Amino acid sequence: MVDERKSTLVTEDAVTARAEAPAACASDIPSVERLLQSASFVPLLAQYAHTQVTVALRRELERLRGLALAGRLVLEALDAGTLAAAVGADLARRSSPTLRTVFNLTGTVLHTNLGRAVPGDAAVQSVIRALRAPVSLEYDLESGGRGDRDDLIEPLLCELTVAEAATVVNNNAAAVLLMINTLAYRREVIVSRGELVEIGGAFRIPDVMRSAGAKLIEVGTTNRTHRADYADALTARSALLMKVHTSNYAISGFTASVEVAALAEIGRTRALPLGVDLGSGSLIDLARWGLPKEPVVRDIVAAGADLVTFSADKLLGGPQAGIIVGRTDLVRRLKKNPLKRALRVGKLTLAALEAVLALYRAPELLADRLPTLRLLTRDARAIAAQAERLLPRVRAALGEAYRVTAASMMSQIGSGALPVDQLPSFGLCIRASRGSHRSLSRLESRLRQLARPVIGRSADKALWLDLRCLESADEPEFLAQWEGLGG
């Protein structure tokens, strides 16, 4: 078996490194059959099988043929052992997963590009069980007939949110799309101008409206919207009042907005449903752990919202999903929409989501059991102590080429949640000793190429490694990768 860590590709430099080495021509290149029968290729054939090895070997021989025609091929490059090493490295690289685990040291806990929330051990074990055997995804074990996959999590969601009914789709944007398309297709949706948010990837509420086939009616101004603005906009074509929680930005100063309860009252007088897009969404008051206050789904439902949509993979701390809770009759209509089947989630998402939701039944233990909350509530003093503990090893590994110091930093929650609120943190600040920005860029690149890449944040001509998301159990693996990086 070829050791992926030690094997390297036979580059053009290696092929032509020795000027005194005998030159080779295309006719000197051994045949595929002869090489595959050599002892050097036996381990590769056992690990990767005949088809993959043959394709990789032909690819390598074709490259060498090009060097031969250019007069740059040497005989030693045609050794069976050398070729086996090159083919082995190629196969190892192509066989390694594209989706890789990384160390998130960016200071953003819910980093969209790094997968947002990590659901934790309970969710992992639940997913493993769902992977290993058939599951009762849409099978009613009591009646023996067909079931509804939403039944797996609806009771839990209703318990935690005091809503009458619930359904799940693949993300919150899908939840909003399904709600609007179902309740307001070819009709009007009334939204405050100050709530027409844009989320990542230039995905905007007005775009969702158009895609859902509804007409957007903007009311109020960017900074101030009043109850009368909504009431005056109502027509025979109005189908839905909508409130969007501006979780990814904040307007301060001379502002005014209409609370959910007041909007719900307007809706009741005209028999119009009120849909609230909470975005990040939280099932519990984060202020009890000293975190900034965020609207709680239960409170929004209690205030009179007919439907509430929110993400499962942000403040909730679960897998990627969009959750819709609210009135039974409206949820039933959503589930009859053909879009619901296109947007539904699979057994793995439901398995993870059920496990995470179950943790909320014991809020006293949540900070220990839910990774997202555990990371958000880490004490800055504990992170500072961790930085001091790691500092000597990282400093020794990098040598004199870099200056490494422990430094205070500010983390953020991320994924659009509480954008103006920051969390005191600590970490390592790395600067090039001789002021070479290129040297620092080289280090960043090398950190990204590690077996488990280390992702930090560049600012002020330094690389900042915020340790908020580095848990103690991961420290040995983290430190083991630093040896030799300073060279």
Distances (CA, A) of 25 to 74, 78, 440: 8, 10, 43
CB atoms within 10 A of CB 401: 16
Neighbours of 204 (CB within 10 A): 13
Please check whether residue 349 is in contact with residue 152, taking contact to mean a CB–CB distance below 8 angstroms: no
In 24-164, DSSP assigns E strands to: 103-104
The low-confidence residues of the chain, meaning pLDDT below 70, are: 1-21, 199-203, 247-250, 415-420, 435-438, 486-487
Partners of 308 in the β-ladder:
276, 325
CA 445 to chain centre: 21
Q: Is domain 103-110+375-480 in CATH 3.90.1150.110, yes or no?
A: yes
Q: What is the DSSP letter of 30?
A: P
- Residue 119: name the closest of 392, 389, 351, 449 by CA: 351
What pLDDT is recorded for position 194?
A: 87
Torsion angle defined by CA atoms of residues 53, 55, 60 and 63, in that order, rounded to the nearest 10 degrees: 180
Q: Are 32 and 54 in contact (CB under 8 A)?
A: yes
What are the residue boundaries of the structural domains of the chain, listed by start?
12-95, 103-110+375-480, 121-367
Say if strands 307-311 and 274-277 run parallel, antiparallel, or are unpaired: parallel
The amino acid at residue 91 is: L
Angle, vertex CA 190, rays to CA 188 and CA 192, nearest 5:
155
Triad 299, 261, 327: Cα angle to 5°? 65
Q: What confidence score (pLDDT) does residue 249 get?
A: 62
The contacts found for 94-102 with CB under 8 angstroms, 24 or more apart, are 94/56, 95/48, 96/4, 100/452, 100/453, 101/452, 102/452, 102/453, 102/454, 102/455
Asked if 103-110+375-480 and 121-367 have one fold, the answer is no
Task: Say what the pLDDT of residue 168 is.
Answer: 98
**pLDDT value of residue 247:** 63
* CATH architecture under which domain 121-367 falls: 3-Layer(aba) Sandwich (3.40)
Q: What is the rounded (10 degree) CA torsion for 54, 59, 61, 66?
A: 160
Neighbours of 206 (CB within 10 A): 13
Kindly report whether the global pTM for this prediction surpasses the value 0.85: yes
Cβ contacts of 56 within 8 Å, gap of 6 or more: 48, 87, 90, 91, 94
Q: What is the dihedral of CA 338, 339, 341, 346, to 10 degrees?
A: -170
Strand-strand pairing, 188-192 and 215-219: parallel
| Beta-bridge partner residues of 426 | 408
Q: Token pair for residue 321?
A: 């999903």
